[in-house]
Amino acid sequence: MTCLLVELQTEELPPKALKKLSEAFARQLTASLAAQHFLEEGSATTTYGAPRRLAALVTGVLAKSPDEAFKQKLVPVKVGLDAEGKATPALTKKMNAVGITADVSELLRVNDGKNEQLVYEGVRPGVELAAGLQTALDAALNNLPIPKVMHYQLSDGETTVSFVRPAKHLTALYGEEIVPVSVLGLKADRVTSGHRFHTHELISLRSAEAYEAQMHDEGKVMVSFEARRAKILADVNARANALNAQAIVPEDLLDEVTALTEWPVIYESGFEEEFLEVPQECLILTMQQNQKYFALEDKEGRLINRFFLVSQLEAKDGGNAISSGNARVVRARLADAKFFYDQDRLTTLESRIGQLKNVVYHNKLGTQAERVERVKAIAARVADLIGADRDEAVRAAQLAKVDLLTLMVGEFPELQGIMGEYYALHDGESETVAKAIREHYQPRFAGDALPSTPVSLAVALADKLETLSGLFGIGQMPTGDKDPFALRRHALGVLRMLLEKNLNVALGDLIDIGYEAMGTVAGVKDSRAELAAFFEDRLRVMFKEKGYSVQEIDAVLAAHPATVIDVPARLDAVRAFVALPEAEALAAANKRIGNILKKNEEQLPDVDAGLFELDAEKTLWTMLQAADVDVKALYEKGAYTDVLKRLAPMKAAVDQFFEDVMVNVDNVQIRLNRLALLDRLHRTMNKVAELSRLAK
């Protein structure tokens, strides 16, 4: 199986985009070759991506695509042939357009059900790899997810091309042979550049198969993104273990460092212990964001004054100069962080509260000071509902946004809330209030931890409810993929807190509290219905991801459970009900009853057993009364599965009722009594979920 290698060597590619660019390049190239039938069965693609190159190695590539039988519909016979059976100009034009040179006598006549069509059957000759690769290469480059295009001139000083970065070399090898293709003003060859500092001569690649090994040995470049990433992680962890420490390695930082180095070498450096007096979150963020270092902590999770940096130089002195140079750089950065921290603590959070009136929250919703007052009002009400300390919730809400005014958060917005906790403790606030300041932003992202105390939950719920109520009230709902204010995340956060913290609070009550707090803001409309529907949509997404079917979710939510924490138990009950042999018939009957009741516009009386005329009515009524007693007791205990199972014995009576009883009879009294019986049955069946939604 002959291999094909394509490499585009460039100037340094944007590190945060490298992984996506390399994957897209290989994927598009392979897809185009496959569409042109150049790939044998079992063909595989290896993706390569390094700071200055995108490449792909494809196995099982044909030198020429196979001949292909094809049919081409041309034009209707009456359009394509004249009275003498000769080709009309319309047929000739069509044949020329699709590249068919056959004689008219070679064309088939095929009836497509409407017209008799002229059809050509033939064999399309295969295409040489050079032509196919040119098509594939053009398609791959045209579909790259380039974050920002760069325009640059070629060496002729006249031609301008556009790409993510200036391209230097194009390599295309089929086995050992060069494939004559060209892009971005470059003609394919077998040469490429190696490491910028460890090599100086161009590398002549022997073959496609030798690419990765030759680049490693001669070029001092690890061309595989995944191999470099794995090496960095393994080396960092091994060196951390040697120090009896553990490295802090966020996935995003690991990917970015991998994209910055083509020959990764790990060096150790450090900083003065005095900087450890600064909150470790500040130090870690400084090292990660500004310098791309991997911070280290001891086995107890405390930051230590050592860190790892990833270079792409094998220093002759063992890295002493690199380590000391980076120590000087980080010292300046950490000194800034310490200055911010020391200066911020000179002023209490409480004394800064008044400054929030100078910070605009939203031009239609007022300042941060006005927003804080609304969050305080909501937090007080929510605290009462969930059993949290009202005074501490209000105090935490009052201080929660003040750290936005500090130097540290101004430099690192990611630390908002975190620094608020440190400063609150320094000011003598209670641990509960300080923790609530930190945790009121949680959950910040999918899978993030939830607030850990009742007070934190009260403030977090209040913060999100104020945001949702206000922005929905001024018409800033998410549309399509656009959600600039992260309202979906806020709504999911509220739902997660209710569900996972088992808060027995009605979602409708929380929405009401939010809008009552917004009542003083001019221009905010009452959008409670829209917000409730938005929460319901988020619930649907949440439980669909947990494996429940659309029908199961629809059935439960259509019953409008009072609290969100009721939903999982109801879903499990519906799933158990669906497994019963009687379920399908009962769901169908429930749907039929619902349709009958919708057509009635009259006030229904209480059921009068004395008006029953048929045994089927009497039997159903007797069974329904007995079931109602059991259902009520089970429902009050939350035994929803047992509630639905209790309906199963009623199947025969329900079936017999519809077999024997005509509901819409002329006698108004009898008709309304039968409708009342069905209404009572309908309400009993739908206490846990609207079973009609399960009908097929």
pLDDT tens readout for residues 164-183: 999 999 999 999 999 999 99
Using CA atoms, how far apart are residues 548 and 557, in angstroms rounded to an integer?
12
Last residue of a domain, one of 325, 344, 363: 344
Give a yes or no: residue 481 inside a domain. yes
pLDDT at 85 over 90: no
- Residue 236, Cα to own-chain centre: how many angstroms? 29
Together in a domain, 416 and 279: no
Could you tell me the residue range of the domain that residue 27 belongs to? 4-64+129-217
Together in a domain, 357 and 469: yes
The whole-number pLDDT of residue 115 equals 84
Together in a domain, 453 and 490: yes
Give a yes or no: residue 503 inside a domain. yes
Of 500, 516, 496, give the one whose Cα is nearest residue 508: 516
The whole-number pLDDT of residue 602 equals 87
Together in a domain, 314 and 409: no
Together in a domain, 208 and 256: no
Give a yes or no: residue 555 inside a domain. no
* Helix residue ranges, H only, 402-453: 407-411, 418-426, 431-439
Residues 6+ apart with CB under 8 A from 177: none
3-class SS at 50? strand
Residues 6+ apart with CB under 8 A from 42: 1, 59, 60
List phi, psi (to 5°) of 234.
Answer: -65, -45
Residue with tokens 């600064």: 278
Together in a domain, 529 and 385: yes
Residue 496 is given by DSSP the state: H
Q: pLDDT tens-digit profile of 110-163?
A: 887 788 989 988 888 889 999 999 999 999 999 999 999 999 999 888 899 999
Give a yes or no: residue 411 inside a domain. yes
The whole-number pLDDT of residue 164 equals 95
Give a yes or no: residue 553 inside a domain. no
Together in a domain, 402 and 516: yes
The whole-number pLDDT of residue 185 equals 93
User: Token pair for residue 163?
Assistant: 């790409």
Q: pLDDT tens-digit profile of 479-492?
A: 888 898 999 999 99
| CATH code where residue 627 lies | 1.10.730
When pLDDT is cut at 50, 70 and 90, the band that residue 5 belongs to is very high
Residues 6+ apart with CB under 8 A from 373: none
| CATH code where residue 505 lies | 1.10.3210
Last residue of a domain, one of 197, 217, 237: 217
pLDDT at 1 over 80: no
> Position 460: which residue type?
A
Give a yes or no: residue 559 inside a domain. no
Together in a domain, 569 and 653: yes
When pLDDT is cut at 50, 70 and 90, the band that residue 502 belongs to is very high
**Count: domains in the chain:** 5
Give a yes or no: residue 554 inside a domain. no
Percent of the chain scoring above 70 in pLDDT:
100
Using CA atoms, how far apart are residues 469 and 638, in angstroms rounded to an integer?
31
Q: pLDDT tens-digit profile of 202-258?
A: 999 999 999 999 999 999 999 999 999 999 999 999 999 999 999 999 999 999 999
Using CA atoms, how far apart are residues 557 and 610, in angstroms rounded to an integer?
37
Q: pLDDT tens-digit profile of 388-409?
A: 999 999 999 999 999 999 999 9
Q: What is the DSSP string of 251-283?
A: HHHHHHHHHH-SS-EEEEEE--GGGGGS-HHHH
Last residue of a domain, one of 344, 376, 392: 344
Using CA atoms, how far apart are residues 364 and 470, in angstroms rounded to an integer?
9
Average pLDDT over residues 435-446: 95
Give a yes or no: residue 250 inside a domain. yes
Residue with tokens 């009515």: 617
Together in a domain, 383 and 518: yes
Of 604, 628, 692, 620, give the one whose Cα is nearest residue 660: 620
Using CA atoms, how far apart are residues 276 and 268, in angstroms rounded to an integer?
18
Using CA atoms, how far apart are residues 570 and 691, in angstroms rounded to an integer?
12
When pLDDT is cut at 50, 70 and 90, the band that residue 101 belongs to is confident
List phi, psi (to 5°) of 408.
Answer: -65, -45
> Position 285: which residue type?
L
User: Token pair for residue 188?
Assistant: 């394919």
Give the number of other Cβ atoms within 10 Å of residue 160's Cβ: 9
Average pLDDT over residues 186-200: 95
User: Which helix (H) or strand (E) segment is 171 a member of?
Assistant: strand 167-174
**Average pLDDT for the chain:** 94
Together in a domain, 622 and 642: yes
Is residue 211 within 8 A of residue 56, CB to CB? The reply is: no
Together in a domain, 60 and 178: yes
Residues 6+ apart with CB under 8 A from 425: 431, 434
Together in a domain, 373 and 520: yes
Give the number of other Cβ atoms within 10 Å of residue 137's Cβ: 25
